[in-house]
Amino acid sequence: MTSDLGGAVLAGSSKRAKNDSRISRRRFVGRAGIAAGALGGVASARGQNSQVPANREMRTDVVVVGAGMGGLTTAVRAQREGADVVLLEKSSERGGTMSHSEGAVWTYESFEDLRNDAPHGDPELQRTVFDTLLQVYEFYDSIGAPLGAADEGERRTRRIAPVAFTNFMVGQLESAGGTLLMETPMLRLLTNRQHEIIGVLAEGPDGPIRIQAKAVVLATGGFAGNAQLVTQNITRQFGSLYQRNVAFDGLMPPLTGDGFLAASQIGAAPSLGGFDAFYGHVLPARPAKFSHPLSDYSIYHGAWTVAVNLYGRRFADESQGRVAGRQIARVGDHFISQEIARQPEATAAYIWDGPINEEHALAENNLGSLDKFDAFRQAGAPVATANTLEELARQMEGWGRGVPAGQVLGTLSEYNQAARNATAGKLPVPKASSRNALPIQQPPFYAILGTTGITATHGGLRVNSRGQVLSTTGRPLPGLFASGIDVGNFCNYAYLGALCLGAVFGYLSGANAARQPEPRGGWE
């Protein structure tokens, strides 16, 4: 790819306006990054929509739906390409789930490793993200965005303080004359008689708004909060799941699949995979109560534990979930958390010992010097700790959640014997990664009951490397683009990064949407 867009821009003129490290990525960004980002605050949306004309009709070049990483990058990039932009956000908080993330804009350092871990993902999208991400960093640097420097050996990882980055990008949009309409969800896409996209029908605090545009970019964040789509595609345990990226005011994220559903209504194709997968982590089970950000209370060391369901039995490989028959480059809790989501109540217990606690539970910790296990206990989560496995199992049974002590001891005995003999890969439920198959044998012993928290879905719209949404016939829908999690099947079970998807496709879709010609079929 040789052009400034990595070879992925539409032809036409433009109006140019001007993981296995012990010190983890999470810990590095952690609370310091979030705290730094929070200094700018997140403005309430109310009263910000004065730019809506009295007749509730607007005309612009590009409408962007969703003000997260993908939407903000799209909007600013489109402006830099000479477009007038209207950005819609359905909630009262800008920044989307990016505002509650840990701020790592990353993907794999090796394309071969990326493809090995997610071979069923869309190779065109994966190559596009891998090849274009460094150009996106250059774009952010060129506009002065608050983006941290890359670590040595990690060219495809840069870090943001999420709220500060959000405020900067909103400032860029508004200072260049862009319009941000808060609490204004898209109701549907508008098309003309030649089936070209010509804008959106939205609804603001004061009623419907009809916005005509040459291009629409969908960046609505996926369907993690849509009970019907999650139940149909991922798990029947939707009611038990945590929505991991809650807002600062405690509201659930409005990730209800708006972009996917609206595009589907006019003939957009679903991605060719990814619908049964998501990115998430396990959180302390109810009745635990914990404060924002939820990432502080996520359990990251699940790959080194023994995970048992409410029946006291292992049910999946803790290190790589349902991946079988091959080694993967990056293990992590995001594999087993997907399998826990399909267990009763989307809940399971993690069991580990003293060495694992020191080497992994404490290292994979966003709470600074605070022992995460103590934080779980103080939050009111069902936890257990003891100097013998018998006592630990008894305490687990005492949670009153149906976990039988005898079955837990039988499961641990079978697992420990296999781990000591280096035969964990031959267990009835194999554990493929020998480096993660550590025996649970040195006290103190720990257990916590956890419930899956869902962050971002992997399925979405079928999109090409230019960011164009494709129809069910495989052709681009004229004037319709996507960014961020609405781009389906970049990740597929294995997590390859999420902010990178918004960054790259915001960069590409923003430029291409700005260059979209006026509809040949007119505006009606």
Each residue of 25-79: pLDDT tens digit?
333 333 333 333 333 444 333 335 668 888 899 999 999 999 999 999 999 999 9
- The pLDDT of residue 290 is 81
- The pLDDT of residue 283 is 94
Q: Where in the chain is the domain with CATH 3.50.50.60?
A: 29-36+43-222+257-273+460-514
Q: 26-35, 246-255, 272-281, 452-461: lowest mean pLDDT where?
A: 26-35
pTM: 0.90
- The pLDDT of residue 467 is 98
Label residue 20 by pLDDT band (50, 70, 90).
very low
- The pLDDT of residue 30 is 35
CA–CA gap between residue 524 and residue 511 (Å, rounded)? 25
Kindly state the average pLDDT of the residues 165-174: 98
Task: Say how many residues make up the chain.
Answer: 524
Q: 365 pLDDT exceeds 80? A: no
Q: What is the pLDDT of residues 497-523, one digit of tens each?
A: 999 999 999 999 999 999 999 999 999
- The pLDDT of residue 368 is 61
- The pLDDT of residue 1 is 36
Percentage of residues of the chain with pLDDT beyond 70: 87
Kindly state the average pLDDT of the residues 439-457: 97
Label residue 23 by pLDDT band (50, 70, 90).
very low
Q: What is the pLDDT of residues 121-150, one digit of tens each?
A: 999 999 999 999 999 999 999 999 999 998
pLDDT, the chain, mean: 89
Q: Where in the chain is the domain with CATH 3.90.700.10?
A: 279-454
- The pLDDT of residue 9 is 45
CA–CA gap between residue 230 and residue 232 (Å, rounded)? 6
DSSP alpha helices (H): ranges in 256-404?
A: 258-265, 333-340, 354-356, 372-378, 389-397
Cβ–Cβ contacts within 10 Å for residue 325, how many?
6
513: which DSSP letter?
H
Assign domain 29-36+43-222+257-273+460-514 to a CATH class.
alpha beta
Q: 151 pLDDT exceeds 60? A: yes
357: which DSSP letter?
I
Q: 290-294, 351-355, 357-361: lowest mean pLDDT where?
A: 290-294
Q: 33-42, 206-215, 452-461: lowest mean pLDDT where?
A: 33-42
DSSP-based three-state secondary structure for 274 = coil
CA–CA gap between residue 398 and residue 187 (Å, rounded)? 49
Of residues 248 and 207, more confidently modeled = 207
Q: Read out DSSP for 55-107? A: TSEEEEEEEEE--SHHHHHHHHHHHHTT--EEEE-SSSSTTGGGGGS--EEE-
Of residues 6 and 90, more confidently modeled = 90
Please state whether 144 falls in left (phi above 0), alpha (psi between -120 and 50) or beta: left
CA-closest candidate to residue 128, choices 471, 507, 523, 512: 507
- The pLDDT of residue 27 is 33
291: which DSSP letter?
P
Label residue 7 by pLDDT band (50, 70, 90).
very low
Pick among 3.20.20.140, 3.40.50.11260, 3.40.1360.10, 3.90.700.10: CATH of 279-454 = 3.90.700.10
Kindly state the average pLDDT of the residues 395-413: 98
- Please identify which residue in the block is written with the tokens 């090849």: 131
Are the beta carbons of 458 and 274 closer than 8 angstroms?
Answer: yes
